[in-house]
Each structure stands twice: as C-alpha cells, then as structure tokens.
Structure 1
Amino acid sequence: MIDKLDATFRFYQDAANLRAHRQQLIASNIANADTPRFKARDIDFKAALENTLTGTRTTKLISTAPGHITSSAAGTVSGEPVLYRTAVQGSVDGNTVDMDVERNQFADNAIHYEANLTFISDQIRIMRAAIQG
C-alpha cells in the first residue's frame, strides 16, 4: 500500500520538479530578451515527464573540448535535451526571444504548476480524511 502512495506522490513530485525547471528556463529567456544572439530555450515537457516515469534518467554531457568538465545534468532535463525555440520573427541582433510567446508559456506553465500543487494538496487531504475516519 505504501508503494502505491509513494508512486502517486512521486509522479506529482517529478511533474512539479519539471515544471519548476521549465519555469526557470522561460524566466531566463525573458531575462535575456535584449541579449544579442541569445537563443530562447525550452524543454519538451511531455517527453521529459515520460522519461522520468519510465526511469530513463541517464544523461551525458557532450563536451566539445578535452578540457571541459563533465556533468550529467548540463543540457538535459530528465534525459531530454534542452531545445531551442524557432524564431517566429527574426531579429537584427540574432536574438530569438519573442516576449509574447515567452509570457504565454510562462503563464501556462505557472497555471499547470499550481494545478499540480493543488492535486498534491487534495491527495493529502483525502488521505488525512481516510485516516481520521
């Protein structure tokens, strides 16, 4: 029984962690909206969550020089690479951040994150009610 509860909360925990990481990426895009040649980044949330659920969390950093420090967490989220957004409208300085797209994605991700926390809270409330009778 504990395994079922643990699996339920693990799903919500993994989803919340991925949403939080995605929120950081989107916030970074917004913060670098005026940085020349900055490329907007995001993750494929669905693929990253599927990798998390199936347990394929092996990540490797591809280094371009022999002196680079190796890290298993750089450039990937739950085994999925951090992707670059395709620019809807090009800019003169090479920046691909579209503030309308970023604000939309930020708000959408924030709503999903809050919904995830609400689901966790509801699960805990249901469990407390069942325990207390």
Structure 2
Amino acid sequence: MAISFNNALGIHQHTVGVRERNAEVISTNIAQSNTPGFKSRGMDFDRALKAATSGASFGLNRTDGRHISASTRVTGEMKYRTPTQPDTGDGNTVDVDLERNLFMQNQLRHQASLDFLGSKFKNLTKAIKGE
C-alpha cells in the first residue's frame, strides 16, 4: 500500500513555505523602515495558501539564452499595507512595531507547522517500523 504524502502531511507541508515567504516580506519591510518613499507591503496568507495548495506556478523570464529556464510556485499577491501611523514627511509607510509583531506572530505559526510536520513524520516512521 502506497503512502500518499498529501494525505499524510495535510496542509502543513504548504503552510511552511508560505510562512517563509511571508517572513521575507515582513523582514524586507523592517529593513526598509528608514528608506524614504518605501511603501510597506504584505501578503494575503489565505490567498497565498490556496495558490500553493492548487499547484499553480509561473515561468520566470530569461534575460540570456544561456540561462536555465525555471518556474516557481505562486506564493500570493503582494499588496501595500494601509498606513497605521501619520506620514512623517518622507513617504515611508513602515510601522516598525507593527511589522515586528507580525513577524513574531508569523514565526510562531511557522514553528507550529514545523512541529505538526515533525509529529506526522514521527508517526509515519513508527507505522513503517510497525511500532
């Protein structure tokens, strides 16, 4: 009997990748907090997760004929965040406190997904060994 990893691992195999991409977006916002004119961006997690579970992908443009063609998974549409603080005059919309909180929340959920995946693999290993 074959093991279906999609059934065995559930949605957590997809949430890990989407959470990692979300962490990149949030950390970029934090890194650009002093850049004049930078607009804070965010990801719609639900849409990104639906895109990841549907298997959608898109091709990457090659700028040179010698480049290897590649495709990547769709990880959600980036949108600009609605500013939560008044403009300081430089056009930057990053609220560092908000971004840090979002980053911490994302990391906790990422770790929870990793823990769920770890327990799934542990149980699969026990099943294979007959324990």
TM-score (norm 2): 0.79
Q: Does 1:121 align with 2:79?
A: no
Q: Which residue of structure 2 lines up, in the alignment, with residue 51 of structure 1?
A: 51
Do 2:18 and 2:75's aligned partners in 1 also have CA atoms closer than 8 Å?
no
Equivalent of residue 82 in structure 2, options 70, 78, 86 = 86
Figure out how many residues of one structure are paired with residues of the other and give that number. Answer: 121
Do 1:56 and 1:79's aligned partners in 2 also have CA atoms closer than 8 Å?
no
CA distance 1:127–1:46, shift in 2 (3 Å): same
Structure 1 runs of 4+ with >6 Å offset: none
Moved more, 4-13 or 109-118: 4-13
CA distance 1:107–1:2, shift in 2 (3 Å): farther
Q: Which residue of structure 1 lines up, in the alignment, with residue 15 of structure 2?
A: 15
1:29-88 deviation digits (Å, cap 9, x = unpaired): 011111101011111011110122123334789xxxxxxxxx976xxx726321111101
- State the SS of the aligned residue for 1:80: coil
For 1:34 and 1:105, how far apart are their aligned partners in 2? 18
Q: Unaligned stretches of 5+ in structure 1?
A: 62-70
For 1:127 and 1:109, how far apart are their aligned partners in 2? 27
Q: Unaligned stretches of 5+ in structure 2?
A: 62-69
1:107-130 deviation digits (Å, cap 9, x = unpaired): 000001000100010001111222
TM-score (norm 1): 0.78
Deviation at 1:8, TM superposition (A): 3.9
Moved more, 51-60 or 10-19: 51-60
Identity %: 32
